[in-house]
Amino acid sequence: NDIRGCSRGSLIVLEGLDRSGKTSQCGNLLAYLQGKGFSVEAWQFPDRSTSVGKMISAYLANESQLDDRTIHLLFSANRALMENKLKSGTTLIVDRYSYSGVAFSAAKGLNIEWCKAPEVGLIAPDVVVYLDVPPEKAAERGGYGLEKYEQLDFQGKVAEHYHNLLDSSWEIVDGSQSIESVERQLKDLAMHSILTCQRGKPLTNLWS
């Protein structure tokens, strides 16, 4: 059996605070898996290229004001359908997903069950990797930009909510290690997940 054959792809999600290293690690993982000959794409949420994504981007840049529930629902509406991609055999590496949606909105004080509700039924990831970096350490990494949520006290609250969300199915990777060491662990986790999906692991839905 050619392991690169046309069984379904894997949904690999990276989560973590701002500056935890998700975005660069997603890029490295993409290059690695492509080099191995897999059909793979890297996505990121929010996807700022869509019309909803542009509203989100303006909000994050403090160029527009929206109430907390409205922006939560926009983030939800921004999560594109992945099912067909996965079924066609493409693996998706996704930089942030519903867990960001819940952790960031809950950190503002919104009810957690309410935050999950619009995302019930989305495709569940095959593996969620949490890049664990203490908020203080993340803040030191080149400093934050100007976006709305890039503040130490707020990121501390987000970290608490991430920790409440994570369960035994998550893979926690210590993001304070060297880039190479994080990269090696991500490669192993991704390969394992891809092989499990190719062997027929069924797709499931979120928050059910």
Binding site for ligand FDM (CB under 6 A): 18, 45-46, 60, 75, 96, 100-101, 104, 149
Q: Measured from the CB atom, is 110 or 191 closer to ligand FDM? A: 110
Q: CB of residue 59 vs ligand FDM: minimum separation in angstroms?
A: 9
Phi and psi at residue 27, in whole multiples of 5°? Answer: -65, -45
Report the distance separating Cα 172 and Cα 181, nearest Å. Answer: 13
Q: Measured from the CB atom, is 60 or 122 closer to ligand FDM? A: 60
Q: Measured from the CB atom, is 28 or 100 closer to ligand FDM? A: 100
Q: CB of residue 149 vs ligand FDM: minimum separation in angstroms?
A: 4
Q: CB of residue 23 vs ligand FDM: minimum separation in angstroms?
A: 7
> What residues contact residue 100 under an 8 Å CB cut-off, 6+ apart?
15, 45, 75
**Are the beta carbons of 158 and 15 closer than 8 angstroms?**
no
Q: CB of residue 3 vs ligand FDM: minimum separation in angstroms?
A: 31
Report the distance separating Cα 125 and Cα 159, nearest Å. Answer: 20
Beta-bridge partner residues of 98 = none
Q: Measured from the CB atom, is 127 or 194 closer to ligand FDM? A: 127
